[in-house]
Amino acid sequence: MRAFSLIALLICILCTSRTEAGRLDPTAHKLLSNPGYAKYIDVECYIVTREQVAKVFSQKNGVITQLPNNQLRSKPVYLLVRCKNKGSYMAFGDLHCYVPNRGSPIPIDMSDLRGGDASSYFVSVVQICSGLIEDNDKIPAIKYQWDCLYNY
């Protein structure tokens, strides 16, 4: 009985930790998966302050300037990811963002990347711990990788 409970718990954890794109059945995954479509999607990742987040949402396609670590360290900070689909198909997927000094990636569910609309961005904001920010004047280097990418 205890083994059954542990297996059930493991299944619940695995099922709830994945985002929408990760929950596709194998047939849909095979039909829609297209990692090569990433060349049509511009991805920008920033660590920003609350004021910068407000600016992004108050101006359409506003310019974001990545501040150096020493200007971010003592404030609440956010991972801001924005994507622009320059292709002609609708796309969605899971983007993994790698923030310096954080051991695991931050998964971002990109659920509505409309094709043919190269004038607007899909924006996602996640608060992160300011303790991850180093105490220096370097620009934080954020890397990303598509965990899965689909289009239709």
What's the pLDDT tens digit per position in 121-146? 889 999 998 777 888 999 999 999 99
Of all residues in the chain, the percent with pLDDT exceeding 70 is 83
9 backbone dihedrals φ, ψ, rounded to 5°? -65, -45
Nearest to 48 by CA among 57, 38, 60: 57
- 108 Cβ contact list (under 8 Å, min separation 6): 81, 94, 95, 96, 97, 124, 126
Half-sphere exposure of 147 (CA within 13 A, CB side): 18
Token duo for residue 26 = 């194998």
**Residue 148 — pLDDT band, cuts 50, 70, 90?**
very high
Go through the domains of the chain in sequence order and give each one's CATH number: 19-151 (2.70.50)
